[in-house]
Structure 1
Amino acid sequence: MKKGLFVCLYGVLFTASVYLYSHVYSRPAVEDAGRLLPAQVKTIEQADGEQTLKKIVQEANRAGTQLTIAGMQHSQGGQTYYPGAVMIDMKPFNNVIDFDPEEKWITVQSGATWDDIQRYINPDGLSVKVMQSQNIFTVGGSLSVNVHGRDIRNEALITTVKSFRLLKPDGTIIRVSREENAEWFPYVIGGYGLFGIILDVTLSLTEDELYQKRTRELDYRDYTRYFGQQVKENEAIKMHLARISVAPSSFLRSMYITDYIKAQNQDMLTSYNELKEERIVALPKLFLGLSRYSEWGKETFWDIQKQYMLQEDGSFESRNNVMRSETDFMDYESGERTEVLQEYFIPIGEFASYIDDMRNLLEKKDEFNLLNITIRYVEKNDQAVLSYAKEDMFALVLLINQGKSKQEVEQSKAVIQEMIDITLNHRGSYYLPYYSFPTKEQLRKAYPLAPAFFKKKQEMDPKKRFTNYFYEEYQQ
């Protein structure tokens, strides 16, 4: 009797341990750049070929498994993974498929990075039209969030897409363009990987050019007028970047702006078109680190940033190199803290009053550690269903240092929701690739077509084969 009970107990424990190992401990733990949503996925599958990807989707359909799609994972709200799902790592799927320098287009697999493209097309004197301010991201990931960049003469990334091939949730492959299977086009681009796997994409390109930098200081109240009169109306200005101070003595008042003006002598381009690599970043990394922990550090970092850019006034740089911004100095490792991004879009005419309202809010939030605000221009574009640029807007990218404890996350959430309310009150919107701090009501106010987006997702993927944290949080 005792022996039988022992055997039975042993069997139960053995079965439980096998279950725990196979369903919990053996599952890979993943997190994205935000480091606030660690999760255990079922497996991580490498996208080492088109047939492999088809098999992954077909097997998921047989087994009823959910899928997520990951590139460099610089989104910060779990848009690239979900607990228990199979995460597909697209980075190995990175070949250049076709290239026509005369017609100025290139076809690449979606795991290719913008750096891969730049290295391929730079010898032919060509450049991409739209990408983020860094070139480290995958093309598929950039399409999934419909990025914008510094170029003020091209709109969002969607405008540069000629066509792409899509591996649908049912395992079939279609070509998508504005003319072919067009109903998929505005949902997949800016669709956060919820409608299938982008296999490859054909992008239109432009000429590489030589730019001369013009940098000056500015009061925030003069920015709208300056941009309208001095920048937007000057066709020679191709790119634009601004920063507004987060240093206590000039908090959200002082700015510097940099315009990239097409050089009159383009023959000089050959002296500047060698692609630059990351340089020594120890000094800016040091001062950014100091700015995380003291007001003196913020003052010093702001002064160094500003003086460096002012010293660069009049210097030359190729278009491709302008789009190869250095990022290594922003790397941050901490067990207890992380750095998150927010991005808000504000109509140009609302800028000064918006900044006043944000200052009035943030000067009362001593615990809110704001490190940097970069400002770009985004032209109105409604081609994607989840379009963030409802009219011509300034995009403000905020870098925030915060703790990872539950209490600290809740503190950040409260402040960010207040900032979003201010943004919405100024007819603005916010970018979706970040942590799920916004409420569902805020999402629907910023993106009135969100219900139509989620409805189309249900129609095109009725078995919910593709998912992620963003979808699960906001779909209802």
Structure 2
Amino acid sequence: MKKIFVLISYLVIFALSVTAYQAKLSSPIAEDKGHLLPVALKSIASGTTDQELQQLVKTAGKNDDKLSIAGMQHSQGGQTLYPDAIMVDMKPYNKILSFNPGQKTITVQSGATWDDIQKYINPYHLALKVTQSQNIFTVGGSLSVNVHGRDIRHHALIETVQSFRLLTAEGSILQVSRQENQELFTSVIGGYGLFGIILDVTLELTDDKLYQYETKEVNYREYDSYFTKEVLANDQVKMHLARISVAPVSFLTDMYLTNYLLAPDQTRLEDYDSLKRDSIIALPKFFLGLARINDSGKNTFWNVQRTYTMKTDGKLISRNNSMRSDSTFMDYDHASKTETLQEYFVPVNEFADYIDDLRSMLEKEKDFNLLNITVRYVEKNEEAVMSYAKEDMFALVMLINQGTSKKAVKETEAFIQKMIDLTLAHQGSYYLPYYSYPSSLQLREAYPRTEEFFKLKQKYDPEERFMNLFYKEYQE
């Protein structure tokens, strides 16, 4: 009798496990890298050909299913996802379609990563014009958020796009450029997957060059003047990156920076053009871990960062290698905390005053765990409908350690809204890919063409076939 009871128990457990597994398959959970907003999907689908993706869209239309588009899912906050939608995973759609070294152009499917492109073009001594500092993202995802990087001569990604093909809500394929379907060109780039599926993209490339690091320490009050006179006005400086201290010992006062100067001897490029991967990951992970814990850890992390950067002065690096950090040292797994990003844009001439006001605000918020601020430059570009650079701006990218409980998320949201109000008061704006902490009013102040954007969405997708939480949250 006991053996029969045990056997029945095992059968019950097995049946429950199978049921749970089938439920998981039928309603998979997707989430972004911050793990704050898991979304239950209807299913996950993909395609490797135009015909497969077209059929997917047409079938969704017949069944009145919503579609959400995903690449590497690094757009934090789950804005590109939607409950009970079919998530279209674009990663398998990743071929290099054509390459013209003479014209310095390449056409790739949108699921290809920047790493895929770099590996393909590096033997031809060509490089990307614009991408993030990391190369792990898909091209389609990067277009959908209109990324920018550390290059101070090429700015928003939209500048480097010649054309792309778009699979619309009706299942038709359109050629999109500044000459054809121009309205879609400026709304799809930076459009967060709301207008259709970007199929393939033709991008402009540039020459791979050998750069020489130049490092310097400055006070935040000197930074805008130094940047304008010594960096932007110097044609030999091609890239630039700065960090401002969040360590208590020098909180929002001390800065160090790296300029990437054109190396005097370009014949040495071949000595440095083998594509690298990040190394010695354990050490930066260790010091970043200390910074999460207390003020002493933040002081140590800042000193290590600054000291290491200063030691790179005079060293050489290829352009491609300067644009391919995989940043795995920032991977973070904690039971009750996560790490999120915020990015604020402020006019160059507002930088010092903005930092003073930001410091005053942050010093009163002792529980706000700010780990790092990176500063980049973005030139004015209003070509995309949802453009963030209304004038020449410094972009401040903030890494924040926060709790995952409902209470912690609400507290973070309230404080971030205060920081956004401060940014707006300094004629700034903020970057859209991160959590939907900003209010609807803040969105419309930072992005004056928001209503135009939503009307274009209704024009090109009146059935709202392509849906995400960003649109649900802010469309009124």
**TM-score (structure 2 length as normaliser):** 0.95
- Gaps (5+ residues) in structure 2? 1-18
Matches within 5 A, 1:98-117: 98-117=98-117
Deviation, 1:112, is 0.3
Contact 1:247/1:298 (<8 A) preserved: yes
Deviation digits for residues 125-172 of structure 1 (CA, Å, limit 9, x no counterpart): 000100011000000000000000000001200010010000011100
Contact 2:136/2:326 (<8 A) preserved: no
Secondary structure in 1 aligned to 2:76? coil
Secondary structure in 2 aligned to 1:292? helix
Counterpart check, 1:50 vs 2:44: no
Q: Which residue of 1 aligns with 2:9?
A: none
**TM-score (structure 1 length as normaliser):** 0.95
Contact 1:65/1:86 (<8 A) preserved: yes
Deviation, 1:181, is 1.5
User: Structure 1: how far apart are the matches of 2:412 and 2:398?
Assistant: 13
Matches within 5 A, 1:146-295: 146-295=146-295
Secondary structure in 2 aligned to 1:199? strand
Deviation, 1:20, is 11
Contact 1:80/1:87 (<8 A) preserved: no
Secondary structure in 2 aligned to 1:285? helix
User: Structure 2: how far apart are the matches of 1:336 and 1:275?
Assistant: 37
Matches within 5 A, 1:297-316: 297-316=297-316
Letter aligned with residue 204 of structure 1: E
Deviation, 1:451, is 0.5
Deviation, 1:444, is 0.3
Deviation, 1:24, is 7.9
Deviation, 1:79, is 2.5
Q: Which moved more, 1:157-166 or 1:48-57?
A: 48-57
Contact 1:107/1:201 (<8 A) preserved: yes
Letter aligned with residue 263 of structure 1: A
Q: Which residue of 1 aligns with 2:396?
A: 396
Contact 1:34/1:435 (<8 A) preserved: no
Letter aligned with residue 329 of structure 2: F
Q: Which residue of 2 aligns with 1:436?
A: 436
Matches within 5 A, 1:18-57: 26-57=26-57
User: Structure 2: how far apart are the matches of 1:95 and 1:189?
Assistant: 20
Q: Which residue of 1 aligns with 2:142?
A: 142
Deviation, 1:26, is 3.1
Deviation, 1:280, is 2.3
User: Structure 1: how far apart are the matches of 2:447 and 2:226?
Assistant: 29
Deviation, 1:264, is 1.2
Deviation, 1:335, is 1.9
User: Structure 2: how far apart are the matches of 1:100 and 1:79?
Assistant: 35
Q: Which residue of 1 aligns with 2:425?
A: 425
User: Structure 1: how far apart are the matches of 2:22 and 2:100?
Assistant: 49
Count of residue pairs the alignment pairs up: 459
User: Structure 2: how far apart are the matches of 1:447 and 1:235?
Assistant: 32
Letter aligned with residue 236 of structure 2: A
Deviation, 1:326, is 4.0
User: Structure 2: how far apart are the matches of 1:166 and 1:290?
Assistant: 46
Change (3 A) 1:24 1:137: closer
Letter aligned with residue 217 of structure 2: E
Letter aligned with residue 462 of structure 1: P
Matches within 5 A, 1:340-351: 340-351=340-351
Deviation digits for residues 66-107 of structure 1 (CA, Å, limit 9, x no counterpart): 000000010112123111000010001110000000110000
Deviation, 1:30, is 0.9
* Matched-pair identity in %: 61
User: Structure 2: how far apart are the matches of 1:413 and 1:436?
Assistant: 8
Letter aligned with residue 161 of structure 1: V
Letter aligned with residue 245 of structure 1: S
Letter aligned with residue 448 of structure 2: P
Change (3 A) 1:290 1:182: same
Q: Which moved more, 1:327-336 or 1:46-55?
A: 46-55
User: Structure 2: how far apart are the matches of 1:72 and 1:79?
Assistant: 13
- Gaps (5+ residues) in structure 1? 1-18
Contact 1:148/1:378 (<8 A) preserved: yes
Q: CA RMSD for the aligned pairs?
A: 1.4
Contact 1:77/1:470 (<8 A) preserved: no
Contact 2:135/2:326 (<8 A) preserved: no
Matches within 5 A, 1:363-378: 363-378=363-378
Contact 1:336/1:403 (<8 A) preserved: yes
Letter aligned with residue 279 of structure 1: S
Matches within 5 A, 1:440-455: 440-455=440-455
Deviation, 1:47, is 2.6
